[in-house]
Structure 1
Amino acid sequence: MNIETALKEAMSIDGAVGVALVDYESGMSLGTLGGGEWLDLEVAAAGNTEVVRSKMRVLAALALNDSIEDILITLRRQYHLIRLINDRQSASPSLFLYLVLDRERSNLALARHHLRRIEGDLTV
């Protein structure tokens, strides 16, 4: 599945407000969909790049032999879900899907399941 299709699939998740595919090494988004006046996905993508980088540094410092699947940020009215893309060609991923959900209209477990499926089908 290409980037455009992956973003459309993510926006079809119940409660989805916006989605971005982001390269956490550069902080640049490869594509966005949704968002709006109160949700600037470019700014959010760049900010969440720092979240991913920080967590990667912690994993390295702790010498954990593991990898991040996703990171959840819970707000009163929203879920912000960061799903790292498992690159089969590389030992460490450099992309993540960033999904913002309206908490009242979403099911977090189903959203995670859908993102996992999208991640598995995505080709960049």
Structure 2
Amino acid sequence: MPGIDECLYEAMTLPGARGAAIVDWTSGLALGSVGDSPNGDYEATAAETAEVARAAAEYQAFAPVEDPDDDDIALDLDLDLDEAADEGTGGMDHKGLPVEDLMLTTRTGFHLIRYVETTFDSSVFLYLWLDRHTGNLAMARLRLRSLAERLVLV
């Protein structure tokens, strides 16, 4: 099971990989980074991607909500949106994140964010920046999922 450095180096073996980081989305701090940064500043990139990751994970537009009229729907999130909002989590419980990953496409590249689920209240994601012309978005998404599942955070 790879640690932070091994995970980042493995991500950089993907075709078209330009940079990778593991970021805490509550603080916006990079726990580790390798390669280039889209704006030349790893810390700024970590903070900016953390804003995107936090918004997607916390907004109810992306969180499945049970339909009170449909008894057949069973969501395995153990999540009470009103109670979670009162606790300041923005309607989101860290166990069972409603979002798995994000993909942003720019004119020159692909930006992937993969949330890492852990046994503790994790707020960590893997970030990968791919060159648009040489990167393989499908392969990168599959590899990031595998890395996130195997990543060991101590």
Q: Which runs of 4+ in 1 moved over 6 A?
A: none
RMSD: 2.0
1:74 matched to which residue of 2?
105
CA separation of 1:61/1:84 partners in 2, compared to 1, >3 Å: closer, same or farther?
A: closer
Q: Which has the larger radius of gyration?
A: 2
2:145 matched to which residue of 1?
116
- After superposition, the C-alpha distances for 1:46-90 in whole angstroms (9 at most, x for unaligned) are 101111111122137966356211011100110000000011x13
Return the match for 1:104 from 133, 138, 150: 133
- After superposition, the C-alpha distances for 1:4-56 in whole angstroms (9 at most, x for unaligned) are 00000000011000000000111111000001584322211110111111112
TM-score between the two structures when normalised by the length of structure 2: 0.72
Contact between 1:22 and 1:28, CA under 8 Å: does it hold in 2?
yes
2:72 matched to which residue of 1?
none
Question: Aligned pair 1:59/2:88, yes or no?
Answer: no
CA distance in 1, matches of 2:56, 2:22: 18
The total of aligned residue pairs comes to 122
1:43 matched to which residue of 2?
44
* Gapped regions of structure 1 (runs ≥ 5): none
Contact between 1:28 and 1:45, CA under 8 Å: does it hold in 2?
yes
Contact between 1:19 and 1:100, CA under 8 Å: does it hold in 2?
yes
CA distance in 2, matches of 1:71, 1:49: 12
Contact between 2:21 and 2:31, CA under 8 Å: does it hold in 1?
yes
Contact between 1:19 and 1:41, CA under 8 Å: does it hold in 2?
no
Relative contact order higher in (CA < 8 Å, ≥ 6 apart): 1
TM-score between the two structures when normalised by the length of structure 1: 0.88
Task: Give the secondary-structure state (helix, strand or coil) at the position aligned to 1:93.
Answer: coil
Q: Which structure: greater helix fraction?
A: 1
CA separation of 1:18/1:84 partners in 2, compared to 1, >3 Å: closer, same or farther?
A: same
